[in-house]
Amino acid sequence: MDWMNVARRHGLLVAFGLFLAIVASSADGFLTVGNILDVLRQVSIIGIIALGVTFVVISGRLDLSVGSMLTLLTVIVVDQHNNLGPGGAVLVTLGAGLLIGAWNGALVGFLKLNALIVTLAMLSLLQGLTLFYSGGSNVNVEGAQTTWFAIFGRGTVWGIPVPALLFLGFAVIASFVLRRTVYGRTVYAVGGNETASVFSGIDARWTVFLAYVLSGVATALAAIIMGSRVMGAQNTIGQGYELTVLAGIILGGTSLMGGSGSIWRTVTGVTMLGFIQNGLLLLGFPYYVQWLVTWAVIIAAVWIDLAAKRGRIIA
């Protein structure tokens, strides 16, 4: 066996295993059931967003607007809970996420605008809309102790956090769509070679459009969980989430060049990132170290992906 080749192909997994061993030996509570469930609860919000963005990335595009989208939609679900009740708030939030995703998809898919520029501009627009909508004030759920809305972010089923179950359930559905449907195959085709896919009769415009719609709906679901968990919303609650989401997707092995990746890789990457961040806190490192590690993870994962694409790593 070529151990050097194995190390190159699975270097991140090896490093993650070593990290787990080090933290487990230094922090007694790291691998306990309670801490593991806490990590799964924490990563569910990022994870659900990442599942939607995975469709966008495999199609060969990016979505950097999800952090600001999460902020706006969390403010909306909390505010509308106080106006319409929990049921109405959930429906309004899902509808708003769908519309924002559709707008991104129309600009990138049908107007052929650059995805990076469009979603960066949308990031700024959505943050401005958040401040306009909230008047610059934080919002809180009224009657937080009695509303059933709390189940999305704070509930448990057989001891398992509801957010983790929602994450898993959404992953199962997303995996089925990506792997077992015609639309899923078109996502891979467009991301792998858009020109060839068009000559094969695939309408790349609709494929990209629907990928952004899925990203918007996934972010709306994450916002519902976030609002339920915090029982309130700040105007910066989703700040930086776009980078963490991309880090989880890249760490899972989905290529930024498009055409390759999977839902379960994203689940693995996001979960790994969650345990890394949790372990750093248990070891006593300052919170900002998480951002440094996230940067290192992105750089390492992108380098490995590029090296593999260029044939430096034998697949």
- Domain presence at residue 71: yes
The reply to whether 311 falls in a domain is: no
Residue 313 placed within a domain: no
Cβ–Cβ under 8 Å, residues 80 and 93 = yes
Residue 187 structural domain: 27-239
Neighbours of 255 (CB within 10 A): 21
Is position 162 within any domain?
yes
pLDDT at 103 over 50: yes
Q: How many domains does the chain have?
A: 1
Residue 81 is assigned to a structural domain of this protein: yes
The reply to whether 166 falls in a domain is yes
Asked whether residue 251 is assigned to any structural domain, the reply reads no
pLDDT digits (tens, 9 = 90+) for 246-258: 988 988 888 888 8
Please check whether residue 262 lies inside any domain of the structure. no
pLDDT at 213: 98
What token pair was written down for 281?
A: 């806190």
This prediction has a pTM of: 0.91
pLDDT of 133 over the 60 cut: yes
pLDDT in tens, 14-62: 777 787 888 888 877 888 888 899 999 999 999 999 999 999 999 999 9
